[in-house]
Structure 1
C-alpha cells in the first residue's frame, strides 16, 4: 500500500491545527513547523477546506482552524479527502475487479487489504494521535 505525500502532509497539518484548536494557524506556520513544502501544503489545505475538514478566514486575524472537533476527524476521512480512493490498481478502483483462472482469488485479497486499512484509518482520530492522549489506540490487526 502506498501512502501519498498528500495524505501524510494533510494529516500532519490537521494535527498542528488540533494541537491548539482555539487559535488559527497560517499555512506558513504549519509548513515551517512540520517541514512541509509551502506551495504543496497550500494546495493540500485547499482540498481539506473543500472537504470541510478545515475552515479559513482571511485577514490579519485569519488563518486555518479545524472544520470539526479533532475527535470527530478520522485518518480515513483525511486520506479520502486528498486522494479519493484508498487503494487503486493501475489507477482503477477495486470494485468489479475480476481475474480468470488461477488468479480468480486475488481480487478478494486486494479488497480485504483495502477493508483492513480502512478499518484502521477509520478508527484513528486526530485526537488519538496527539501527544499526551490517553485513550486506547486502535487495535492492530493481523500477525505482527
Structure 2
C-alpha cells in the first residue's frame, strides 16, 4: 500500500487532535508540532471537517477537535476521506491470473487492519496487535 504525503499529514493531524486535551486545537499548533506545511494542513482540515470527522470553531479561542470519540474513528475512515474509494480489483491474463487474487487478499488484509486501529489506539500508543507497539 502506498500512502500519499497528504494522507500521512491527515493521519498525523487527527492523531494530534486525539492526543490533545479537550477543547479546540489551533491549526498553527498542529502544523508546528507535526511539522506539516500550514497551507497543506488547512486544506486537509477543511476536507476532514466536510467529511464530518472533525469540527471547528473560529476566533481567538478557536481550533479543531474530533467530531466523535477517538475510539470511534479508524485509520481507514481518515484514509477513505483523503484518498477516496479504492480501485476495484484488476484481472490479469493467462498464467498471471492468480496475482489478482493475491492483490485482493493483500488489500483486504490492509483494509481489515486499518479498520481495527482507532485514533484512540494511536493517541495512547497501544496498538491492538502484538508486535505493533510503538517503542
SS in 1 for 2:42: helix
Change (3 A) 1:119 1:101: same
Tell me the residue number matched to 2:70.
Answer: 70
In the TM superposition, what are the counterparts of 1:1-144 in structure 2 within 5 Å? 1-86=1-86, 93-95=87-89, 97-131=90-124, 133=126, 137-138=128-129
SS in 1 for 2:65: strand
- Aligned-pair CA distance for 1:103: 1.3
Q: Between Structure 1 and Structure 2, how many residues are aligned? A: 131
- Aligned-pair CA distance for 1:57: 1.1
Larger helix proportion, structure 1 or 2?
2
TM (normalized to structure 2)? Answer: 0.88
Map Cα deviations across residues 77-112 of structure 1 (whole Å, 9 max, x no partner).
0111101134xxxxxx124x2222111111111111
Q: Which runs of 4+ in 1 moved over 6 A?
A: none
Is the CA contact 2:16–2:123 (under 8 Å) kept in the aligned structure 1? Answer: no
Is the CA contact 2:54–2:66 (under 8 Å) kept in the aligned structure 1? Answer: yes
Which blocks of at least 5 consecutive residues in structure 2 are unaligned?
A: none
Q: Distance in 2 between matches of 1:63 and 1:27?
A: 6
